[in-house]
């Protein structure tokens, strides 16, 4: 075996830390960018963040100075989670301590919907209490607010609500207990025959089920408020839409030249200060490049979606189309629109909202998939609920009424994406 030392020359792309930083900055949301820059300012003494200037609002004035300029300040400093709130309820109860201990354990093992996904046997294996004691604690947490916490299945929770809200209608409890799957599939006649009641009574049970909550935490806990901070603003001036970049922390980051004086006469500090200036300079250039890229992408979006901004429908537009327009890679456009929002005369929208694939309308025109979804939803909303329209008939209506060529399978895909049931399950 011969060992030789050879040298070869290759061409490749090296991801330097600076390039990685620029890529990350491009896809950050306003809030994430704020947090990142504050961390950098703490680590790098050269970086300074000035007060964010007030941005013009849609009426041409200034944003109220009393409002927090830092988007993070819109969030409460600390807000208790739903589990902590429920534990607080248990702690305030005047019950024996061992029941409190079991109840706290049960609450900590609930899933995000409020269901208990471990059996009483498993709980007994973890705790040194009898199954009877665990059952008492389980019944106790079901009476907390919201009611029904700790049910093992949706069927159990539905039965709990029926028993609580309709205690006199035992027959309804029995129907749901024995025929829930058939009720979900709207097999009225089958259930009516097996239960020995009329089809109308079975339909009334289904009507009651639709008024019940699907899980204990519905609309109460576990749902966080999402704050959408716009990065851009577009408004109509003299018949044309004008795009502006809302001032943010990114435009308030600068280098403090006074830090350089600290290294004068100190050879040990000079390399450190020079490196801090180098990193700060690269960061500021990356922020400016981020701003320019987002503006370029947004300008193409506004130009393409003028009809929508004037109250019409979205036009089909893809990431590839925008990338070719501004001579950038498709992945760059994808990062530029990620987690970004724009304030328009119609409200605040995420940039990715404006992208939609194209469907054929006729030989010379196209229509966006988003517009087709809205048409499908409109047709379903107007249908006779006793005779709902099938996917094929929806496709035929789109062809006849709007000259949109679309297959039955595509209609089904769009309908399911909007969370709309099939015609057989929409029938009343």
Cα dihedral 270, 276, 277, 280, rounded to 10, equals: 180
How many Å apart are CA 171 and CA 191, to the nearest integer? 13
**Domain shared by 136 and 176, yes or no:** yes
**Domain shared by 238 and 308, yes or no:** yes
Is residue 373 included in any domain, yes or no? yes
**Domain shared by 250 and 339, yes or no:** yes
- What is the total count of domains within the chain? 3
Q: What is the CATH number of the domain that holds 422?
A: 1.10.10.60
Is residue 422 included in any domain, yes or no? yes
**Domain shared by 181 and 125, yes or no:** yes
**Domain shared by 157 and 199, yes or no:** yes
**Domain shared by 285 and 341, yes or no:** yes
How many Å apart are CA 172 and CA 191, to the nearest integer? 12
Would you say 89 and 145 are in contact if contact means Cβ atoms under 8 Å apart?
yes
Q: Write out the two tokens for 208.
A: 């009651």
Domain boundary among 301, 323, 354: 354
Q: Write out the two tokens for 63.
A: 């944003």
Is residue 58 included in any domain, yes or no? no
Is residue 158 included in any domain, yes or no? yes
**Domain shared by 205 and 87, yes or no:** yes
**Domain shared by 368 and 346, yes or no:** no
pLDDT at position 295 is 92
Is residue 188 included in any domain, yes or no? yes
- Domain of 161 in residue numbering reads as 82-209
Domain boundary among 145, 174, 209: 209
Q: Can you list the alpha helix ranges (DSSP code H) found in 93-221?
A: 97-108, 120-126, 131-142, 154-165, 170-184, 188-195, 199-209
**Domain shared by 177 and 285, yes or no:** no
Is residue 66 included in any domain, yes or no? no
**Domain shared by 371 and 346, yes or no:** no
Per-residue confidence in pLDDT tens, the chain, 428 aa: 566 666 666 655 555 666 777 788 888 888 888 888 888 888 888 888 876 554 444 333 333 333 344 554 444 444 567 788 888 888 888 888 888 888 888 888 888 888 888 888 888 888 888 888 888 889 998 988 888 898 998 989 999 998 888 888 888 888 888 888 888 888 888 888 888 888 888 888 888 888 888 888 876 654 455 556 788 899 988 888 898 888 766 678 888 877 766 656 667 778 888 888 888 889 989 999 999 999 999 999 999 888 888 887 778 788 888 999 999 998 888 889 988 889 988 888 888 888 876 555 544 455 667 777 778 888 888 877 778 888 888 888 877 777 777 788 888 888 887 788 787 777 76
pLDDT at position 240 is 87
**Domain shared by 204 and 250, yes or no:** no
**Domain shared by 385 and 409, yes or no:** yes
Rounded to two decimals, the pTM is 0.54
Domain boundary among 209, 244, 259: 209
Closest CA to 36 of 334, 296, 286: 286
Q: What is the CATH number of the domain that holds 118?
A: 1.10.10.1330
pLDDT at position 327 is 92
């Amino acid at each position: 075996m011969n060992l030789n030392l050879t040298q070869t020359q290759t061409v490749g792309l090296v991801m330097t830390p600076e390039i990685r930083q620029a890529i990350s900055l491009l896809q950050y949301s306003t809030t994430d960018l704020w947090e990142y820059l504050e961390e950098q300012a703490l680590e790098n003494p050269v970086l300074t963040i000035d007060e964010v200037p007030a941005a013009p609002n849609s009426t041409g004035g200034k944003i109220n100075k009393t409002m927090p300029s830092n988007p993070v300040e819109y969030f409460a400093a600390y807000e208790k989670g739903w589990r902590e709130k429920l534990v607080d309820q248990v702690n305030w109860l005047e019950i024996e301590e061992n029941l409190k201990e079991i109840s706290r354990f049960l609450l900590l093992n609930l899933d995000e919907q409020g269901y208990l996904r471990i059996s009483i046997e498993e709980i007994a294996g973890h705790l040194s209490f009898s199954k009877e004691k665990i059952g008492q604690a389980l019944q106790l947490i079901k009476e907390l607010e919201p009611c029904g916490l700790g049910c093992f299945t949706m069927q159990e929770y539905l039965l709990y609500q029926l028993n609580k809200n309709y205690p006199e209608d035992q027959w309804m409890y029995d129907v749901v207990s024995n025929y829930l799957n058939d009720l979900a599939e709207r097999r009225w006649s089958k259930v009516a025959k097996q239960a020995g009641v009329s089809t109308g009574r079975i339909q009334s049970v289904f009507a009651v089920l639709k008024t019940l909550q699907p899980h204990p935490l519905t609309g109460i806990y576990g749902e966080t408020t999402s704050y959408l901070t716009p990065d851009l603003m577009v408004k109509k001036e003299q018949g044309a839409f004008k795009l502006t970049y809302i001032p943010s922390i990114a435009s308030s980051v600068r280098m403090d030249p006074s830090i350089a004086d600290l290294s004068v006469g100190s050879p040990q500090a000079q390399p450190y200060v020079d490196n801090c200036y180098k990193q700060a300079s690269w960061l500021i250039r990356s922020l400016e490049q981020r701003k320019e890229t987002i503006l370029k992408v947004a300008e193409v979006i506004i130009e393409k979606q003028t009809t929508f901004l004037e109250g019409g429908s979205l036009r089909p537009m893809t990431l590839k189309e925008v990338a070719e327009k501004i001579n950038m890679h498709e992945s760059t456009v994808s990062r530029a629109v990620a987690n970004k929002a724009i304030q328009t005369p119609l409200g605040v929208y995420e940039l990715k909202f404006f992208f939609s694939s194209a469907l054929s309308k006729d030989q010379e025109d196209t229509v966006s998939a988003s517009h087709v979804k809205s048409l499908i939803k409109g047709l379903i909303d107007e249908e006779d609920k006793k005779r709902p329209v099938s996917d094929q008939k929806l496709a035929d209506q789109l062809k006849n009424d709007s000259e949109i060529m679309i297959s039955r399978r595509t209609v089904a895909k769009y309908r399911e994406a909007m969370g709309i049931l099939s015609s057989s399950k929409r029938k009343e």
